[in-house]
């Protein structure tokens, strides 16, 4: 059964955000229907420190105490939104915000990957910026202002029951409001291709889903099978390469990543016997 929130990926993509859908998302949700969407509830996962979105499987399947899905959206440390479910999710529990007491029915839940501890603070700016822009895009779509965005710690009852997310929600809402009002700085976008140099055309920016010779070049640099398909394994290897070279680990090979890859010697391929 196709669920109610199938508009989520398009709304986020139209805001210039990176989006990855999780298999089965369109039919995923609790047994009861989602109600009218009135706002967004922000969370952090309290998951592992390592990895971009290590809590994704938990968001899909749930825990021993709370069945999944646990949120409609997961937000990776690199600013990627993972669309988990298009239906109602178990993310809110008992609470109240703007007079709304049934958060699961009326709020879209976003679980951002963060331990909630000092080892994961401050948050990566690329993640916070995506969080603000994603919330703003959803609120604009449903016709609500920034006050209809709440932290789980603000919504949950009794007060103090939940600590997430562990940043200042008033500052967060201010950034969301600036985006909605068109006064926030434009996001820094990755160029579609490199600048031409010495008469040589710039290479295009490549990412998950792309195919062809440029993908094979990157796969060779990373000592992967050179099938020319930019899939999950290639993306994960690119992210790791970027982390090791102090770039934003977004899994996208743009001008900055191309420059670093140029300095990498392609490993010799084994010769047939």
Ranges 66-70, 93-97, 133-137, 258-262: which has the least confidence: 258-262
Tens of pLDDT, residues 158-173 = 999 999 999 999 999 9
With CA atoms as reference, report the closest residue to 123 among 91, 80, 79, 84: 79
pLDDT value at 28 more than 60: yes
Inter-residue contact 169 to 154 (CB < 8 Å): yes
* Of 17-26, 127-136, 238-247, 264-273, highest mean pLDDT: 127-136
The per-residue pLDDT for 199 is: 73
Cα 35 to the center of its chain, rounded Å: 24
The per-residue pLDDT for 187 is: 75
Give me the percent of the chain exceeding a pLDDT of 70.
97
Higher pLDDT, 187 or 23: 23
The CA angle 118-123-126, to the nearest 5 degrees, is 165
Average pLDDT over residues 187-201: 78
Bridge partners, residue 200, by sequence? 197
Tokens of residue 225, six digits: 């099978």
Inter-residue contact 228 to 216 (CB < 8 Å): yes
By three-state DSSP, how is residue 211 classified? strand
With CA atoms as reference, report the closest residue to 209 among 77, 21, 56: 21
Tokens of residue 27, six digits: 């039919």
| Residue 158 preceded by cis peptide, ω within 30 | yes
CA–CA separation, 151 vs 53, rounded Å? Answer: 20
Bridge partners, residue 108, by sequence? 40
Average pLDDT over residues 248-259: 87
pLDDT value at 271 more than 50: no
Cα 196 to the center of its chain, rounded Å: 31
End-to-end CA distance of the chain: 53
pTM of the model: 0.78
Higher pLDDT, 198 or 46: 46
Count other C-beta atoms under 10 Å from residue 190's C-beta: 17
The per-residue pLDDT for 269 is: 58
Tokens of residue 196, six digits: 């031409």
Average pLDDT over residues 62-70: 95
Tens of pLDDT, residues 31-62 = 999 999 999 999 999 999 888 899 999 999 99
The per-residue pLDDT for 273 is: 46
With CA atoms as reference, report the closest residue to 22 among 77, 68, 78: 68
In the block, tokens 């958060």 appear at 103
The per-residue pLDDT for 5 is: 97
**Domains in the chain: boundaries:** 8-180, 190-266
Tens of pLDDT, residues 70-91 = 999 999 988 999 999 999 999 9
Homologous superfamily of domain range 8-180: Peptidoglycan recognition protein-like (3.40.80.10)
Tens of pLDDT, residues 139-151 = 999 999 999 999 9
Domain made up of 190-266: CATH architecture: Orthogonal Bundle (1.10)
CA–CA separation, 95 vs 80, rounded Å? Answer: 28
pLDDT value at 252 more than 90: no
């Amino acid at each position: 059964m196709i669920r109610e929130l199938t508009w989520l990926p398009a709304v986020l993509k139209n805001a210039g955000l990176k989006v990855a859908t999780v298999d089965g998302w369109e039919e995923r949700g609790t047994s009861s229907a989602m109600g009218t969407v009135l706002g967004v509830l922000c969370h952090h996962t309290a998951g592992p420190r390592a990895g971009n979105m290590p809590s994704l499987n938990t968001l899909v399947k749930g825990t021993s105490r709370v069945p999944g899905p646990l949120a409609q959206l997961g937000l990776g440390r690199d600013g990627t939104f993972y669309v988990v479910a298009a239906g109602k999710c178990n993310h809110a529990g008992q609470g109240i915000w703007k007079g709304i007491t049934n958060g699961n029915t009326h709020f879209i839940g976003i679980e951002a990957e963060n331990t909630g501890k000092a080892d994961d603070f401050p948050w990566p700016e690329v993640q916070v910026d995506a969080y603000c822009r994603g919330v703003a895009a959803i609120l604009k779509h449903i016709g609500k202002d920034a006050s209809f965005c709440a932290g789980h710690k603000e919504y949950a009852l009794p007060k103090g029951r939940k600590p997430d997310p562990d940043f200042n929600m008033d500052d967060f809402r201010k950034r969301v409001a600036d985006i909605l009002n068109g006064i926030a700085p434009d996001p820094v976008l990755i160029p579609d291709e490199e600048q031409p140099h010495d008469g040589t055309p710039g290479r295009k920016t490549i990412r998950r889903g792309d195919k062809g010779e440029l993908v094979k070049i990157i796969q060779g640099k990373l000592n992967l099978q050179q099938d020319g398909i930019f899939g999950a394994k290639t993306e994960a290897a690119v992210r790791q390469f970027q982390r090791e070279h102090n770039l934003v680990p977004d899994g996208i090979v743009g001008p900055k990543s191309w420059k670093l890859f140029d300095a990498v010697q392609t490993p010799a391929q084994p010769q047939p016997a």
